């Protein structure tokens, strides 16, 4: 993979560009993709953003989110965008499998592929890229790339909002260890450029429907289990809960963090039966590596303190497998 700066000559004449991200995108996947979209459009490129799946309503305030194609529901338009594409940007994921149904189409593409990501252990087959696991967010990397290409004068309010949103959410509102001085300097720069950060916090965090809050209450009361001997807390959510509270994409985001707020808890696991498969989210505090844990037991990955995985077993069976894995890691969890 060649360094990202070397794409500079490629951007000097108008190109057909597609930007994509991981399935069920979060604010960082969507924010980094839309920040790059605005930047490349302002430079005169023909740019389409494709999300492998739908995305949460609480991201729909993002400037130009209405132009994002959902690969599943807008297949024809998406394939048209991929036809003859010259540059493919892959944002906020480390292997093509994270693009779900798009994977076979992306693999076949005969264009220049560029990775921008901050997850551990990226797949090697990209032409250009920036994989920086010390970055707090992929959105931060887009900001840094714009600077490295000498194009910071392109950073307008649309770009600033997208970059701020991705970084705010991936750092847990600027509290995780990844919130470096570099992040604070970037935010200071965005504020000096006129960004109104309060609006973004409200757009993302003060936009719940009542049922989402009631679901959280129900889950904390009825679905949470704490295993003090292994410093672990777990929540297993049956599909019937998702139906009962009429949950939409993104409504379970943040739930896993409640578990880590219990005194002494080092490992938090949220296990959700999504009907088609069981999805797992892991968070840890300190030196327990949930990237390795998700890879080893649940075909997943992510970061050292935040990762995810999947299982094709039933919810009960997945919970049993998780508990077995937890006990196998008892020593590391002390
Ligand atoms: P979340 O729990 O918020 O869905 O994901 C936490 C982190 O783990 C994110 O950085 C996400 O990209 C990553 N992640 C979540 N699910 C998977 C998965 O199935 N495979 C891999 N490789 N990473 C995942
Ligand atoms: Mn991210």
Residues 123 and 263 in one domain: no
Residues 160 and 108 in one domain: yes
Q: pLDDT above 70 covers what percent of the chain?
A: 100
The protein residue whose alpha carbon is closest to atom 3 in ligand 1 is 281
Using the predicted structure, report yes or no on whether residue 145 has a pLDDT greater than 90: yes
Structure pTM?
0.95
- Domain assignment present for residue 241? The answer is yes
- Domain assignment present for residue 112? The answer is yes
Residues 135 and 55 in one domain: yes
Query: What does the pLDDT read at residue 125?
Result: 85
Domain end: 181, 205, 229, which one?
Answer: 205
Tell me, in angstroms, the distance from the centre of ligand 1 to residue 151's CA.
Answer: 31
Distance CA 305, CA 287 (A): 8
- Tell me the average pLDDT across 87-94: 97
- Domain assignment present for residue 333? The answer is no
Residues 167 and 36 in one domain: yes
- Domain assignment present for residue 334? The answer is no
Domain end: 151, 182, 205, which one?
Answer: 205
Using the predicted structure, report yes or no on whether residue 122 has a pLDDT greater than 90: no
Tell me, in angstroms, the distance from the centre of ligand 1 to residue 310's CA.
Answer: 9
Tell me the CATH number at 229. Answer: 3.10.310.30
Q: How does residue 67 score in pLDDT terms, banded at 50, 70 and 90?
A: very high
Q: Residues 161, 63: contact at Cβ < 8 Å?
A: yes
Residues 154 and 270 in one domain: no
50: Cβ–Cβ under 8 A, 6 or more apart, which residues? 18, 19, 20, 68, 69, 70, 71, 78, 81, 82, 102
Sign, CA torsion 283/285/288/289: positive
Using the predicted structure, report yes or no on whether residue 116 has a pLDDT greater than 90: yes
Residues 81 and 162 in one domain: yes
Query: What does the pLDDT read at residue 124?
Result: 80
- Tell me the average pLDDT across 304-311: 97
- Tell me the average pLDDT across 52-66: 97
b/e per residue 199-209 (b: at least 16 CB within 10 A):
ebeebbeeeee
Q: pLDDT above 90 covers what percent of the chain?
A: 98
The protein residue whose alpha carbon is closest to atom 10 in ligand 1 is 302
Query: What does the pLDDT read at residue 188?
Result: 98
- Best of 121, 308, 310, 311 to mutate for ligand 1, by most ligand atoms within 8 A of CB? 308
Query: What are the residue ranges of helices labelled H in 103-180?
Result: 103-108, 138-148, 157-170
Tell me the CATH number at 101. Answer: 3.90.1640.10
Q: How does residue 225 score in pLDDT terms, banded at 50, 70 and 90?
A: very high
- Tell me the average pLDDT across 278-285: 97
**165, exposed or middle or buried, with CB in 10 Å at 0-12, 13-18, 19+?**
buried
- Domain assignment present for residue 171? The answer is yes
Distance CA 241, CA 112 (A): 43
The protein residue whose alpha carbon is closest to atom 8 in ligand 1 is 307
- Domain assignment present for residue 275? The answer is yes
Domain end: 150, 182, 205, which one?
Answer: 205
Its domain, for residue 281, covers 210-328
Compute the mean pLDDT over every residue in the chain, rounded to the nearest whole number.
97
Query: What does the pLDDT read at residue 121?
Result: 87
- Tell me the average pLDDT across 233-257: 97
ipTM: 0.96
Residues 199 and 225 in one domain: no
- Domain assignment present for residue 117? The answer is yes
Residues 261 and 239 in one domain: yes
Please indicate whether residue 283, judged by its CB atom, sits closer than 6 Å to ligand 1: no
Q: Give which of 166, 112, 107, 170 is closest to 142, Cα–Cα.
A: 166
Using the predicted structure, report yes or no on whether residue 293 has a pLDDT greater than 90: yes
Considering its fold, how many domains does the chain have in total?
Answer: 2
Residues 229 and 324 in one domain: yes
Q: How does residue 290 score in pLDDT terms, banded at 50, 70 and 90?
A: very high
């Amino acid at each position: 993979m060649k360094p990202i700066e070397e794409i500079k000559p490629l951007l000097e004449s108008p190109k057909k560009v597609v930007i994509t991200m991981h399935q069920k995108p979060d604010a960082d996947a969507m924010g980094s993709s839309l920040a790059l979209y605005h930047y490349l459009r302002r430079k005169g490129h023909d740019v389409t953003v494709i999300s492998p799946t739908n995305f949460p309503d609480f991201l729909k305030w993002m400037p130009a989110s209405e132009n994002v194609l959902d690969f599943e529901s807008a297949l024809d338009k998406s394939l048209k965008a991929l036809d003859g594409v010259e540059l493919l940007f892959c944002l906020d994921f480390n292997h093509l499998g994270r693009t779900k149904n798009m994977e076979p189409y992306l693999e076949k593409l005969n264009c220049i592929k560029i990775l921008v990501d901050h997850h551990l252990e990226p797949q090697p087959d990209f032409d250009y890229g920036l994989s920086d696991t010390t970055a707090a967010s992929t959105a931060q990397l887009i900001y840094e790339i714009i600077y490295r290409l000498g194009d910071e004068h392109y950073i307008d309010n649309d770009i600033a909002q997208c970059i701020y949103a991705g970084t705010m959410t991936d750092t847990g509102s600027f509290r995780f260890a990844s919130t470096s001085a570099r992040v604070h300097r970037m935010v200071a720069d965005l504020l000096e450029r006129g960004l109104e950060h309060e609006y973004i916090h409200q757009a993302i965090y003060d936009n719940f429907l009542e049922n989402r809050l009631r679901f959280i209450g129900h889950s904390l009361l009825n679905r949470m289990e704490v295993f003090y001997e292994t410093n672990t807390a777990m929540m297993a959510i049956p599909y019937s809960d998702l139906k009962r509270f009429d949950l939409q994409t993104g409504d379970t985001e943040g739930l896993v963090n409640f578990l880590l707020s219990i005194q002494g808890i080092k490992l938090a696991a949220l296990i959700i039966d999504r009907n088609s498969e069981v999805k797992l989210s892991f968070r840890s505090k300190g030196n327990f590596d949930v990237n390795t844990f998700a890879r080893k037991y649940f075909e997943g990955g992510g970061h050292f303190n935040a990762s995810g995985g999947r299982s094709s077993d039933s919810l009960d069976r997945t919970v049993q497998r998780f508990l077995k894995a937890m006990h196998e890691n008892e020593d590391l969890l002390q």
